[in-house]
């Protein structure tokens, strides 16, 4: 029987098959799902901002760069092989629109770029990127299969 493990905002968790990882409230935030299909282990991070540099400290799971480092360390400790890892991401919406908004305020876009950069840095292929738009997402990640179920309000549900 599987257990649903909830990943909060600015949080990360890992799991083994048959457990599921869940995070809700992805607006401009990004849910990063990393999977080793051979061992059927994986992890999820719910990041809020692109980079920790220049921040005043705090929670490293809040940022794309430092959350990825934490997630990679924990997945490796579970026996995952870096060469088998695959990624799927969701979120990065632009929840509010203001005319003439400077790039610095486009947090969803900046988060997506930072996550993709981190995945490249670790050499992890990005299989699915369900990002952008102006709507929130809730995601369920099945570490047994690698399936990512994405639910949205007024935009339906899909499994990728």
- Predicted confidence at residue 47, as pLDDT, reads 98
- Predicted confidence at residue 104, as pLDDT, reads 58
Catalytic positions are: 29
pLDDT in tens, 69-102: 999 999 999 999 999 999 999 999 987 766 665 5
- CA–CA distances in Å: residue 77 to residues 39, 136, 139, 144: 12, 32, 24, 18
- Predicted confidence at residue 2, as pLDDT, reads 87
- Predicted confidence at residue 56, as pLDDT, reads 63
Is the pTM higher than 0.75? The answer reads yes
Query: Residues of the chain whose pLDDT is less than 50?
Result: none
Domain 4-159, CATH: 3.30.1330.200
Q: b vs e for 27-39, b when ≥16 Cβ sit within 10 Å of the residue's Cβ?
A: bbbbbbbbbbeeb
């Amino acid at each position: 029987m599987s257990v649903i493990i909830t990943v909060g905002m600015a949080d990360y968790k890992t799991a083994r098959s048959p457990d599921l990882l869940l995070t809700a409230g992805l607006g401009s935030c990004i849910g990063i799902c990393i999977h080793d299909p051979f061992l059927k282990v994986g992890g999820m991070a719910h990041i809020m901002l692109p980079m920790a540099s220049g921040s005043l400290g705090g929670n490293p799971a809040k940022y794309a760069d430092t959350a990825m480092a934490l997630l990679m360390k924990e997945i490796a400790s579970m026996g995952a092989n870096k060469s088998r890892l695959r990624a799927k991401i969701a979120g990065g919406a632009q929840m509010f629109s203001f005319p003439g908004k400077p790039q610095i305020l486009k947090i969803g876009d900046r988060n997506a770029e930072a996550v993709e950069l981190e995945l490249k840095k670790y050499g992890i292929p990005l299989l699915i990127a369900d990002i952008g738009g102006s709507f929130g997402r809730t995601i369920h990640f099945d570490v047994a299969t690698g399936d990512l179920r994405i639910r949205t309000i007024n935009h339906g549900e899909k499994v990728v």
